[in-house]
Structure 1
Amino acid sequence: MSTVKLFKNAHLISPADLGTMDLLMAGSQIAALQPGFDTGSSNLPIEVIDASDCYLVPGFVDSLVHFIGGGGEGGFASRTPEMQLTDATLGGVTTAIGVLGTDATTRTLTNLLAKAHALETEGISTYCHTGSYEIPCRTLMGTITDDLILIDKFIGVGEIAISDFRSSQPTKDEIRKVAAAAKVGGILSGKAGLVSVHVGSGDSLLQPLWQAVEGTELKLSQFYPTHINRNEAVFQAGLEFAKAGGVIDFTTSTTSYDLQHGEVAAAAALARALAAGIPAMNLTLSSDGNASLPVYNDHGELVGLEVGQVQTLYQVARQAVLEYQVPLSDAITAITAAPAAILGLKQKGRIAAGMDADLVLLHKSDLTIRDVFAKGRQLVKNGKAIVKGTFEQ
């Protein structure tokens, strides 16, 4: 099969609406895009893909996935399973960032890094954060700064936990030191050096981040808080954070229990934040894929457990358009350009010459996924996986 592919008559959502164009993919990169591309004089074997009646959008960027599973809140038997390749690709995800969560004892950074390399070998782009919920952060090289400088796949730290009974109850000075180390590591390695922040339902909301920034050279934009749709109070605190220039993230995996107990549905949260005047580039969606979704009673006792799904990322973006009238370009921004920007992934999240050839074809009629390409390789065709992970049937 040719490594040069020409998408004909595609409606490009870059995520800006570029209208109908042809796109030329060469190897792992986008080579060119223009109306009516002429290949008549080319001697290259070119595979032509009819993209009529489809939107061509960037591959989706999932900024929070538990590659090696999570959980354990209900004991060893409640540890959730590892992510598989098609968990991502069937949902259009071509770039994913792996994290640890509550458990940094039986889930380790070495295991996380190995799984990231495995998923990359199988077909998608992967990165990781060093650390976990707890502060001081566990690292591989001894410090956060060393991890970011010396380990290519590590681009940030987290997800550190605040306002949550499962957090290590960090002080503002501890949060400052984590952010400072991440910043220096990012500067010296050419990475974002951001701090991914798990936000619980505690009364302190996002105040620990405001307090950490106050009176320092740190900026809100270095913190990337997630689960901002956890409840109405967290959502409102998130809007304040975003209006001050921060980027906030809504979690797409959920349970009926959470929705019945005050969680703001992610699609509704995106629509409401846009209506409140928050710029699309300050809003992202992430799946929290393969995380445990614990259900607690009023006494804090675990009574149930579900598993986050990577494919909810695309499902919620689609729902935002079809049910909440979010403009398609804004919904696509939340799962492409916006997360790529805050994560510092300069080759991801947009359709332009020279960018990585991560592309998704969506049927215009219902926004379902037709085809998925990652680094120029087709992984999904006509809605079915044509490439599977090593141990998938």
Structure 2
Amino acid sequence: MLTLIKGADVFAPSPLGTQDVLIAGGKIVDIQPEITIDTYQRITTVDGTHCILAPGFVDSLVHITGGGGEAGFASRTPEMNLTDATLHGTTTVIAALGTDSSSRTHSNLIAKAKELKELGLNVFCHSGSYHLPAKTLTGSVTSDLMYIDEFIGVGEVAISDHRSSQPTVQQLAELAAEAKVAGMLSGKKGTVSIHVGPVDTHLSLLHEVDKLTDISLAQFYPTHMNRNIDLLNAGVEFCKAGGTIDFTTSTTEYDLAHGEYSAAHALAYCLENKVDPTKLTMSSDGHASLPIFDKSYNLLGLEVGKESTLHGSFVEAVQKYNVSIEHALMAITSNPAQILGINKGVIKQSADADLVLLNKTTLAPTECWSKGVHMVSKGNALVKGAFE
């Protein structure tokens, strides 16, 4: 079967202008201003006029098995469903454990990843969790990355947070070194995802690793960098020193009222401060627990992250903060894919056919393909999980 998308304004994520895009066998076969096919094979033609065709979104932090609730067992968050991603243009997710690596396990994480992959989503995973020493599936980070296809890195390891294991420079350096070598041996990036909390030590631990060892800042991928202006400014300096940073699109009204920047605002702020656009990403933290703490770390409330906020923050960046469509898309497509070392997030010949068609006026997703499978049509899910 062939699918021909006609006359869309293509962002790859760099702008390519009005193009026809032909997909077959799960791949992008051709991109031309005009494609005409004379064949007896069955062809599905999709009208892309008045639309933007973009790479399927890459969500670099999702808790697909749910998160452990900081308010006890009854507050454990649920697992994500396939359409939590696809209805909002996301075709690739990177899954991780968080605070809870006891009731949430790597065997559960991999099983859920395989479920979502069977349904058509692209899913990768991180070994480890918040705490060190790292918990693993096979007994070591090296074996996880080398022998389990889904594992591509480690994390999210918590720093500058009262919930972390308070890792030392040596512990973090040893973990990053193991992940890097394991990545080299398995053809993976071995990126270390870093959960950054609200404590004012910010990214100092990562700078210490960079200063005292052979591990560079580029090995780390700190997230939640939009918690407050001080952390955001620390992120600007981190990028200019060679690192990359990620902003969390799921948030709460309480946090926004108490100094947190929205991910879209943080993206715009960094671009205004001359940060290289390739060093900035956004992720949803979908299905994570979002605890609300006061200044003494007393729990005030608890909400749940949503994968849909990734698309919402893209729209907010473009429509409210005047970020270019190219730079806003880079933050949720090619940038996270490159940082994590996965072949996703671009539109080019022979690339996987992970695509989302957006209404040019509203930027709402109308069509979505994952590995060439038509997942969403006219805003409605064509493929669902067994229990959705």
Query: What TM-score, normalized to structure 1?
Result: 0.97
Partner of 1:316: 313
Q: Is the 8 A contact 2:68 2:104 kept in 1?
A: no
The residue aligned with 1:391 is 387
SS of residue in 2 equivalent to 1:305: strand
1:360 aligns to what? 356
Tell me what 2:345 maps to.
349
- TM-aligned CA deviation for residue 213 of structure 1: 1.4
Q: Tell me, what secondary structure is at the counterpart of 1:306?
A: strand
Displacement of 1:27 after TM fit?
1.7
**1:375: which partner in 2?**
371
Q: Give 1:279 deviation, angstroms.
A: 1.6
CA RMSD, 1 decimal: 0.9
Query: 1:171 is matched with which residue: 164, 168, 189?
Result: 168
In structure 2, C-alpha distance between the alignment counterparts of 1:341 and 1:105, rounded to whole Å: 31
Report how many residues are paired.
Answer: 388
- 1:36 alignment partner in structure 2: 34
- 1:302 Cα offset (Å): 1.3
1:148, 1:154 within 8 Å by CA — same for their partners in 2? yes
Task: Decide whether the 8 Å contact of 2:67 with 2:289 is kept in 1.
Answer: yes
Give the aligned residue type for 2:289: S
User: Which residue is 1:18 aligned to?
Assistant: 16
1:38 Cα shift?
2.0
Residue 33 of structure 1 aligns to a residue whose secondary structure is strand
Match of 1:6 in 2: 4
Higher deviation after alignment, 31-40 or 220-229: 31-40
Secondary structure of 2:212's match? Answer: coil
* Superposition deviation, residue 49 in structure 1: 1.0
Alignment of 1:207-226 (within 5 A): 207-226=204-223
Report the Cα offset of residue 142 of structure 1.
Answer: 1.4
Q: Is 1:45 aligned to 2:42, yes or no? A: yes
Structure 2 CA distance for aligned equivalents of residues 302 and 130 of structure 1: 28
* 8 Å CA contact retained: 2:158, 2:164: yes
The aligned counterpart of 2:282 is: 285
Gaps of 5+ in 1: none
Name which of structure 1's ranges 269-278 and 154-163 shifts more when overlaid on structure 2: 269-278
In structure 1, the partner of 2:225 is 228
Query: 144, 147, 154: which is aligned to 2:144?
Result: 147
Trace 1:286-305 onto structure 2 (pairs within 5 A).
Answer: 286-305=283-302
Residue 138 in 1 paired to residue 121 in 2? no
Q: In structure 2, what residue type is equivalent to 1:31?
A: V
Task: Tell me the distance in 2 between the aligned counterparts of 1:71 and 1:285.
Answer: 22
Q: Write the letter of the residue equivalent to 1:39.
A: I
Cα displacement string for residues 53-81 of structure 1 (whole angstroms, at most 9, x for unaligned residues): 10000000000000010032111001001
Summarize deviations over 1:363-391 as a string: whole Å, max 9, x none. 11111111011010111111111211111
Structure 1 position 297, deviation (Å)? 2.8
Q: Which of 317, 322, 325 is the matching residue for 2:322?
A: 325
- Other-structure match for 2:239: 242
The answer on whether the counterparts of 1:122 and 1:390 sit within 8 Å (CA) in structure 2 is: no
1:184 matched to which residue of 2?
181
Deviation at 1:277, TM superposition (A): 1.0
1:273 aligns with 2:270: yes
Partner AA of 2:386 in structure 1: T
Work out the CA distance in 2 between the residues paired with 1:122 and 1:64. Answer: 19
Structure-2 separation of matches of 1:287 and 1:21 = 30
CA contact (8 A) 1:266 1:316 kept: yes
Q: 1:141 and 1:230 mapped to 2: Cα distance?
A: 34
Q: Distance in 2 between matches of 1:216 and 1:304?
A: 40
Counterpart of 2:198 in structure 1 is 201
User: Quick check: 209-218 or 161-170, which moved more?
Assistant: 209-218
Q: In structure 1, what is the Cα distance between the partners aligned to 2:335 and 2:30? A: 23
Q: Report deviation, 1:298.
A: 3.5
Contact 1:243/1:278 (<8 A) preserved: yes
**Cα distance between partner residues in 1 of 2:295 and 2:359:** 44
**TM superposition score normalised by structure 2:** 0.99
